[in-house]
Amino acid sequence: MSASESYGAFAYAYDQALGQRYFRAVRRLLAEVLQRYPVEGGMHLDVACGTGLAMPFFAGRGFVSTGVDLSTVMLRVARSRAARLIAGDTRALPLRGTFSRITCLYDSLNHMLEPSDLALAFSEIARVMDGRSQFLFDMNHPEIYPEVWGMKEPFVDEGPDFHLEIATTYRRREKLGRALVTGWAIARGERVAIRERHTQRCYERDEIIAALAAGGLEPIEEHEFDPWFEGRTVKLFFVCRKKS
Ligand SMILES: C[S@@+](CC[C@H](N)C(=O)[O-])C[C@H]1O[C@@H](n2cnc3c(N)ncnc32)[C@H](O)[C@@H]1O
């Protein structure tokens, strides 16, 4: 397994700088899929749940929602949104039983730095699915790595409670995008410094499909997703089931 990609103090600026805006965009896709394949109540699992943004959405639709994330700091922020939260790795889910709907959102699976890790994550997710379960996830479109992660200027955002800068680089040969996240945020009344590095791997669509198959999953829907209405595909969004 490759190194952990758990988020640290970045968690305290995450919602305002990135998470809420992305969830506002992806919730439309989630609502459409839930409408197309209705399920009465049921169990929802959010893998790499981060600050738990997706969990009230599912709870509000009658699901009992559980979140798993590697970062205890992200989970601390999630506590205001959800009760069932577990620290754990996507590649070794600390769970038994099955869930009717599973999500893994905002390119969390691009943190799997080896194709074998991605296949392992998918096989763990398949392990907690039954024949009627569905797994909904997005990953970054491969073209955005050279374009967006290769940009010279850092991403900068700020508000009264945070200042965030994300400087990125992309190495085509390794297919790895690296981010240096710096700034500060107010957490429980105190100003905390943010300085952490994260790495993502760019996956071609065919690599994602191959890892799904290796993990025992198959796509039933695939969408090119433009969350920011920029006129380009930024994410690939999949709806999958367990292979029969
Ligand atoms: C971009 S955030 C997305 C969070 C959330 N899914 C959302 O939509 O806002 C990526 C998350 O993946 C988590 N993560 C990274 N590697 C992980 C792993 N191996 N197992 C579990 N969580 C992981 C990080 O801690 C972080 O919370």
What pLDDT, in 10s, does the model give residues 163-195?
A: 999 999 999 999 999 999 999 999 989 999 999
Helices (H), the chain: 11-14, 20-36, 55-59, 72-78, 115-127, 144, 205-215
Question: What is d(CA 8, CA 66) in angstroms, rounded to the nearest whole number?
Answer: 21
Kindly state the helix (H) or strand (E) to which residue 190 belongs, with its residue range. strand 190-201
pTM of the model: 0.97
* Residue of 2, 26, 69, 112 with the most ligand 1 atoms within 8 Å of its CB, for mutation: 69
Say what the pLDDT of residue 150 is.
Answer: 86
Which amino acid residue places its CA nearest to atom 10 of ligand 1? 108
Say what the pLDDT of residue 152 is.
Answer: 85
Q: Name all residues whose Cβ lies below 6 A of ligand 1.
A: 5-7, 19, 48-50, 53, 69-71, 74, 89-91, 105-106, 108, 111
Say what the pLDDT of residue 103 is.
Answer: 98
* 226 phi/psi in degrees, rounded to 5: -120, 80
Pair 115, 86: CB distance under 8 Å: no
Closest CA to 101 of 48, 33, 26, 25: 33
CATH numbers and ranges of domains, the chain: 11-141+203-242 (3.40.50.150), 145-200 (2.20.25.110)
Assigned token pair, 121: 């994550």
3-state percent helix, strand, coil for the chain, nearest multiple of 5: 30, 35, 35
Pair 56, 15: CB distance under 8 Å: no
Q: Which residues of the chain carry a pLDDT beneath 70?
A: 1-4
Residues with Cβ within 8 Å of 72's Cβ and at least 6 positions away in sequence, in order, are 6, 87
Which ligand 1 atom lies nearest to the CA of residue 54?
8
Task: Give the Å distance between the CA of 5 and the centre of ligand 1.
Answer: 8
Question: What is d(CA 71, CA 180) in angstroms, rounded to the nearest whole number?
Answer: 17
Assigned token pair, 172: 């085509």
Task: Give the Å distance between the CA of 68 and the centre of ligand 1.
Answer: 9
Say what the pLDDT of residue 145 is.
Answer: 94
Question: What is d(CA 199, CA 5) in angstroms, rounded to the nearest whole number?
Answer: 7
In sequence order, the β-bridge partners of residue 156 are: 165
Pair 137, 104: CB distance under 8 Å: yes
Say what the pLDDT of residue 3 is.
Answer: 57
Question: What is d(CA 79, CA 87) in angstroms, rounded to the nearest whole number?
Answer: 12
